[in-house]
Amino acid sequence: MEAVIMAGGQGTRLRPHTDEIPKPLLPVGGKPVVEILLKQMRKTGVQHVHLAVNHRSEQIIQTIGDGRKYGLKIDYSKETVPLSTVGPLKLIKSLPESFIVANADVLTDLNFSDLFQAHLKNKARLTVAAYARANPIDFGVLTVAESGMAVGFSEKPVFNFTVSMGIYVFSKSILELVPSNIPFGFDQLISALFDHHIPVHTYPYNGYWLDIGRIDDYQKANEDIKRISDLIS
């Protein structure tokens, strides 16, 4: 299996932690978060990783190296301009017919081989690892009609969503929908797939998963260190 890790973001929502350190190198349990992801990938069968880098790329390359210390082959694809969350894939010319894509700031005990095999079994063009997320609201929520009259009320409701884990399996053919050399995000890719009536498969997962996108997420990652100790060993 091959994987692409998207490691080019600036991590603006994690400032001041990312003022001097690129987001993929933020330490969790004393180890860069992208290193934890690399080890989990290797443990579950990935052999070759492409790191798509931009912001502070030399710092990432110097820290991670060629992958030998992780038992992986690692190479790098550098953006000269930011290309968002899918655009960088067009720069990598040697991708296989099916490959994993993951954001660099994801912590998970997901088995990447199981995800990959599900994608192949379904003969999917795109498979999205999906997580059930419950979001409690700490307020009384009104339902208001167009007249301005309240017609319903819920005290501190909980809304349930199925969210993308920031981990996917792509079939190379869908890159035909991705323009070259301009920013193109995952939201735009999903819209393009729907417009072309191309099925988008999901892979439900209920194990450990945390997206480190905000300050409180980063704090939680370090609080969860015992729970994810097998990931960082």
- With a CB cutoff of 8 Å and minimum separation 6, the contacts of 68 are none
- Cα separation, 58 vs 142, in Å, equals 51
CA distances from 183 to 45, 112, 233 (A): 31, 27, 36
What integer best gives the mean pLDDT of the chain?
87
* Residue 218: band (very low, low, confident or very high) from pLDDT cuts 50, 70, 90: confident
Give residue-wise pLDDT tens across range 133-156. Answer: 888 888 999 999 999 999 999 999
Q: What is the pTM of this model?
A: 0.87
Task: Judge whether 90 and 104 are in contact, CB under 8 Å.
Answer: no
Task: Judge whether 98 and 116 are in contact, CB under 8 Å.
Answer: yes
The whole-angstrom distance between residue 12's C-alpha and the CA centroid of its chain comes to 16
**Confidence at residue 198, expressed as pLDDT on a 0 to 100 scale:** 94
Domains and CATH numbers, the chain: 2-130+164-232 (3.90.550.10)
pLDDT higher at 20 or 214: 214
For residue 136, the cross-strand partners are: 158
* Helix 33-43, helix 57-64: angle, nearest 10: 50
pLDDT higher at 213 or 28: 28
- 3-class state of residue 193 by DSSP: helix
Amino acid identity, position 221 = A
Give residue-wise pLDDT tens across range 106-127. Answer: 999 999 999 999 999 999 999 9
**Confidence at residue 232, expressed as pLDDT on a 0 to 100 scale:** 57
**Phi/psi at 37 (nearest 5 deg)?**
-65, -45
Per the listing, tokens 């079939």 go with: 171
**Confidence at residue 24, expressed as pLDDT on a 0 to 100 scale:** 84
> HSE on the CB side for 128, CA within 13 Å?
17
Q: Which segments of 75-185 does DSSP mark as H helices, in order?
A: 112-121
